[in-house]
């Protein structure tokens, strides 16, 4: 067993277990002892040569040495914490370049539909239970519901909105967020409190759905209308802090050591966060004003990235379009969407409808001028781009990320490399789900399916992919995302995957997979390059920060179908263990800075269908999967 020697053992213990010391065992060591040593493992450095080592030493939050076990052994002192990996894999910590941490944390505290393919009666029953159980009685207390599988609901029940929500036994305003976070549903009370009338016009970049006849609002809002017209009160500082704590527990467990929060503002950084942030955060500012540049520079931490957590404000976020999914279809596309004719969505013929063409929310000239001003001021940009028509046209010394690229145009694949633009893509969207089957595939037409989630095509054209989960648009499961990237399919055994609901969602998504290393670099080295942090993190090299994770199984060796059937055992940030599973704590003798979930999960179980983090779905898996297969329905999926 690989372990730390005591004063009596000296150095002889290593040879006894066959690790193979050479003559350096007895030589004097002038280097200070390491704080941590990981040995007897497979250390995937993801350096330029993709080297694999057996051991790694950490001192003062940095990687001090990496190589053979014999190379690291002289750095073991009496106070060194030694972890015998017993052949397990260690790799750089995961870098998620597009997620919504505060939004995801708040969703954990709200009434949660948990991406499940429920009908309107089940929706109303769960919301009613949440209302009766949350202890709020004031008529003006908003009830917020999150992660609704809106496409599946529409497939089951047709268009739904305020008329259905008004059946709830409450006077409180109700707002439901679709899991794509581009569509919201409101009851009449919420509409009244938002001062929305039949005369309210569509805002720029948004749409208010109306009932037949075109006058009365339906209670369904898309894109900017969903964000800007609804008077949902902001969460208090205490609620934001609780949300952040809950979210960061999930991130630590997932092995995420660096992330970019893709929609943030000055109120999204609770003052008490600093004691709870176990990782490096990069924020993207939403909104433009004369003071934007000055405010971003004021908030940004310009210090060199070190072992302690940091928060960088270095980019701005913009929305160029909406989403491609049916029935929203608010993304800008090169060709018209198809629309059902001579029948319903499920059994009728679909034909192109020129009326469905959407312009990007920004004109090219204004977008170029805005980006140029930002880049000259030293501020990067990340733009929401879901359709194949919403692309900027700039080249220069900057970091520009195009988030999602769900449907891309083949003529643009080579432009990513030519312009130095980064595609930030969510691998988990390349699995079949109710967001594609049946209506979104039909509305796009067969000829465009090969352009969906074109990870391989963009990579082959010269630009590596950067990964961003877009959580909470999907359940947070980075290992599942990696599996999807290399197989174009989900996992029937994972309740977070649409494939767990059986045919047709357990099939293969159109398009070509990428290699395991390409997928892993998307969530490590490529992400840190985009975030301007690659000199400090992203790979395991001497002099870089000790941001790393230990996996239960070897990602490069397990069969494809088992890539995500494992756990992150240990998460380390800046040389400090911030997460370890209960069994890893016992086996490795490590104590993480933060406790594991404990009671927090159980406290939130009743708010979410299937329980907090969907963990109880696996207990009900067999029965619920059988039920849903008989119905021929699916689960969730995307966008943000």
DSSP letters, 483-538, are: HHHHHS---TT-TTSGGGG-TTTTSPPSS----HHHHHHHTTHHHHHHTT-TTTSS
Q: In angstroms, how far is CA 345 from the centroid of its own chain?
A: 31
Element containing residue 241 per DSSP (H, E):
helix 237-254
Mean pLDDT, range 422-433, rounded to an integer: 96
Higher-scoring residue by pLDDT: 454, 206: 454
- 367-371, 493-497, 558-562, range with greatest mean pLDDT: 558-562
Helices then strands, counting H and E runs in the chain, come out as 20, 26
Q: What pLDDT is stored for residue 264 in this prediction? A: 73
Pairing verdict, β 422-425 and 466-467: parallel
**Residue 153, CA distances (Å) to 105, 404, 569 in order:** 24, 24, 37
Closest CA to 85 of 589, 623, 466, 504: 589
Q: In angstroms, how far is CA 43 from the centroid of its own chain?
A: 25
d(CA 66, CA 20): 16
d(CA 458, CA 286): 27
Q: What is the pLDDT of residues 114-142, one digit of tens each?
A: 888 889 999 999 999 989 887 777 778 99
How many other C-beta atoms are found inside a 10 Å radius of the C-beta of residue 228?
13
The number of residues in the chain equals 640
Higher-scoring residue by pLDDT: 422, 31: 422
Q: What pLDDT is stored for residue 531 in this prediction? A: 93
pLDDT at 146 over 70: yes
Burial 243-264 (b: 16+ CB within 10 A, else e): bbbbbbbbbbbbbbbbbbbbbb
Element containing residue 273 per DSSP (H, E):
none
pTM: 0.84
> Across-strand partners of 424?
403, 466
Q: How confident is the model at residue 428 (pLDDT cuts 50, 70, 90)?
A: very high
Mean pLDDT, range 43-58, rounded to an integer: 97
> Across-strand partners of 317?
286, 382
Alpha carbons within 13 angstroms on the beta-carbon side of residue 72 total 34
Q: How confident is the model at residue 552 (pLDDT cuts 50, 70, 90)?
A: very high
Residues 381, 316 contacting (CB under 8 angstroms): yes
Higher-scoring residue by pLDDT: 438, 576: 576
Q: What pLDDT is stored for residue 283 in this prediction? A: 63
Q: What pLDDT is stored for residue 553 in this prediction? A: 96
pLDDT at 633 over 50: no
Q: How confident is the model at residue 274 (pLDDT cuts 50, 70, 90)?
A: very low
Q: In angstroms, how far is CA 337 from the centroid of its own chain?
A: 28
Q: What pLDDT is stored for residue 535 in this prediction? A: 95
Closest CA to 120 of 158, 172, 147: 158
Q: What pLDDT is stored for residue 23 in this prediction? A: 26
Closest CA to 91 of 43, 41, 163, 37: 43
Element containing residue 384 per DSSP (H, E):
strand 380-385
Q: How confident is the model at residue 86 (pLDDT cuts 50, 70, 90)?
A: very high
* Lowest-pLDDT choice from 42-56, 86-100, 375-389, 622-636: 622-636
pLDDT at 404 over 80: yes
Residues 612, 114 contacting (CB under 8 angstroms): no
Element containing residue 30 per DSSP (H, E):
none
Through-space distance between the first and last CA atoms of the chain, rounded to whole angstroms = 47
Q: In angstroms, how far is CA 486 from the centroid of its own chain?
A: 18
**Residue 296, CA distances (Å) to 226, 323, 398 in order:** 26, 28, 16
Q: What is the pLDDT of residues 557-613, one digit of tens each?
A: 999 999 999 999 999 999 999 999 999 999 999 999 988 865 444 445 445 555 455
pLDDT at 149 over 60: yes
Measure the CA dihedral 583/520/480/41, to 10°: -20
pLDDT at 12 over 60: no
Q: What pLDDT is stored for residue 269 in this prediction? A: 58
Question: What is the phi/psi pair of residue 601, to 5°?
Answer: -65, -45
Q: What pLDDT is stored for residue 267 in this prediction? A: 63
Here the tokens at position 282 are 């990069």
Contacts for 628 with CB less than 8 Å, ≥ 6 apart: 117, 501, 502, 634
Q: How confident is the model at residue 268 (pLDDT cuts 50, 70, 90)?
A: low
d(CA 25, CA 28): 8
pLDDT at 170 over 50: yes
pLDDT at 630 over 60: no
How many other C-beta atoms are found inside a 10 Å radius of the C-beta of residue 401?
25
Q: What rounded mean pLDDT belongs to the chain? A: 83
pLDDT at 421 over 60: yes
Q: What is the pLDDT of residues 340-358, one digit of tens each?
A: 887 666 667 889 988 888 8
Preceding amide of 472 cis, omega within 30: yes
What's 321-380 look like in SS3?
CCCCCCCCCCCCCCCCCEEEECCCCCCCEEEECHHHCCCCCCCHHHHHHHHHHHHHCCCE
Q: What pLDDT is stored for residue 5 in this prediction? A: 34
Q: What pLDDT is stored for residue 631 in this prediction? A: 34
pLDDT at 481 over 60: yes
Long-range CB contacts (within 8 A, 24+) of 164-170: 164/120, 164/124, 165/124, 165/219, 167/124, 168/124, 168/127, 168/128, 168/131, 169/128, 169/131, 170/128, 170/131, 170/143
Mean pLDDT, range 393-398, rounded to an integer: 62
Mean pLDDT, range 212-228, rounded to an integer: 78
pLDDT at 413 over 60: yes
DSSP, collapsed to helix, strand or coil, labels residue 632 as: coil
Q: What pLDDT is stored for residue 414 in this prediction? A: 95
pLDDT at 492 over 60: yes
Q: Could you give the residue range(s) of every CATH 2.30.40.10 domain in the chain? A: 12-87+542-588
- Is the torsion defined by CA of 129, 135, 137, 142 positive or negative? negative
* Lowest-pLDDT choice from 278-282, 389-393, 584-588: 278-282
Closest CA to 426 of 403, 397, 392: 403
Here the tokens at position 144 are 């917020």
Q: What pLDDT is stored for residue 476 in this prediction? A: 92
Q: What pLDDT is stored for residue 345 in this prediction? A: 65
d(CA 251, CA 612): 14
Q: In angstroms, how far is CA 420 from the centroid of its own chain?
A: 23
Residues 352, 338 contacting (CB under 8 angstroms): yes
Q: How confident is the model at residue 276 (pLDDT cuts 50, 70, 90)?
A: very low
Q: What pLDDT is stored for residue 265 in this prediction? A: 67
Measure the CA dihedral 587/592/594/598, to 10°: 10
Residues 392, 416 contacting (CB under 8 angstroms): no
**Residue 474, CA distances (Å) to 109, 112, 284, 305, 344 in order:** 16, 13, 20, 30, 28
Percent of the chain scored above 70 by pLDDT?
Answer: 81
Preceding amide of 144 cis, omega within 30: no
Q: How confident is the model at residue 638 (pLDDT cuts 50, 70, 90)?
A: very low
Residues 182, 330 contacting (CB under 8 angstroms): yes
pLDDT at 364 over 50: yes
Q: What is the pLDDT of residues 185-200, one digit of tens each?
A: 999 999 999 998 888 8
Domain 12-87+542-588, CATH number (from 3.40.50.880, 3.40.50.300, 3.10.310.30, 2.30.40.10) = 2.30.40.10
Q: What is the pLDDT of residues 24-40, one digit of tens each?
A: 333 445 678 999 999 99
Higher-scoring residue by pLDDT: 180, 65: 65
């Amino acid at each position: 067993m690989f372990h730390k020697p005591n004063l009596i053992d000296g150095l002889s213990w290593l040879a006894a277990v066959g690790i193979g010391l050479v003559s350096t065992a007895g030589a004097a060591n002038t280097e200070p002892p390491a704080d941590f040593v990981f040995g007897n493992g497979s250390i995937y450095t993801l350096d330029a040569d993709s080297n694999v080592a057996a051991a790694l030493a950490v001192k003062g939050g940095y990687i001090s040495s990496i190589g053979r076990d014999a190379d690291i052994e002289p750095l073991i002192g009496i106070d060194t914490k030694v972890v015998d990996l017993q052949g397990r894999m260690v790799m750089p910590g995961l870098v998620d370049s597009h997620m919504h941490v505060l939004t995801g944390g708040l969703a954990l505290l709200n009434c949660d539909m948990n991406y499940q393919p429920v009908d309107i009666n089940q929706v109303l029953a769960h919301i009613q239970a949440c209302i009766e159980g949350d202890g709020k009685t004031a008529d003006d207390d908003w009830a917020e519901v999150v992660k609704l599988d809106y496409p599946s609901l529409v497939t089951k029940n047709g268009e739904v909105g305020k008329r259905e929500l008004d059946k709830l036994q409450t006077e409180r305003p109700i707002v439901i967020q679709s899991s794509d976070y581009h569509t919201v549903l409101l009851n009449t009370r919420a509409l009244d409190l938002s001062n929305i009338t039949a005369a309210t016009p569509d805002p720029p970049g948004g749409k208010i759905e109306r009932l037949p006849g075109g006058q009365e609002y339906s209670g369904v809002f898309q894109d900017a209308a969903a964000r800007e017209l609804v008077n949902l009160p902001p969460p208090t500082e205490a609620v934001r802090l609780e949300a952040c704590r809950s979210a960061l527990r999930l991130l630590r467990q997932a092995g995420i050591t660096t992330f970019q929060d893709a929609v943030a503002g000055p109120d999204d950084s609770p003052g008490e966060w600093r004691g709870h942030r176990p990782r490096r955060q990069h924020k993207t500012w939403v909104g433009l004003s004369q003071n934007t540049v000055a405010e971003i520079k004021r908030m940004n931490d310009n210090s060199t990235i070190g072992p302690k957590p940091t928060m960088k404000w270095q980019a701005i976020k913009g929305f160029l379009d909406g989403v491609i999914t049916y029935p929203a279809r608010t993304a800008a596309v090169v060709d018209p969407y198809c629309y059902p004719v001579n029948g319903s969505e499920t059994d009728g013929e679909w034909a192109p409808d020129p009326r469905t063409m959407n312009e990007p929310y920004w004109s090219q000239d204004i977008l170029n001028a805005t980006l140029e001003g930002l880049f000259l001021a030293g501020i990067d940009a990340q733009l929401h781009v879901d359709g194949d028509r919403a692309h900027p046209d700039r080249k220069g010394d900057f970091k520009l990320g195009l988030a999602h690229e769900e449907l891309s145009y083949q003529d643009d694949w080579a432009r990513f490399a030519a312009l130095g633009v980064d595609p930030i893509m969510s691998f988990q969207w390349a699995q079949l789900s109710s967001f594609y089957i049946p209506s979104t595939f039909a509305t796009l037409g067969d000829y465009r399916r090969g352009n969906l989630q074109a990870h391989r095509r963009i990579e082959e054209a010269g630009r590596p992919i950067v990964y961003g989960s877009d959580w909470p648009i999907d359940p947070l499961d980075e290992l599942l995302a990696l599996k999807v990237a290399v197989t174009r399919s989900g996992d029937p055994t994972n309740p977070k995957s649409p494939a767990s609901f059986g045919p047709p969602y357990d099939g293969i998504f159109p398009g070509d997979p990428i290699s395991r290393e390409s997928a892993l670099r998307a969530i490590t080295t490529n992400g840190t390059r985009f975030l301007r942090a690659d000199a400090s993190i992203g790979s395991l090299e001497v002099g870089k920060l000790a941001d790393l994770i230990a996996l239960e199984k070897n990602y490069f060796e397990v069969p494809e179908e088992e890539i995500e059937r494992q756990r992150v055992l240990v998460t380390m940030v800046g040389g400090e263990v911030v997460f370890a599973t209960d069994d890893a704590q016992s086996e490795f003798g490590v104590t993480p800075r933060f406790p594991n979930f404990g009671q927090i999960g159980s406290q939130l179980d009743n708010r979410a269908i299937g329980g907090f983090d969907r963990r109880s779905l696996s207990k009900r898996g067999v029965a619920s999967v059988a039920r849903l297969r008989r119905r021929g329905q699916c689960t969730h999926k995307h966008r943000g």
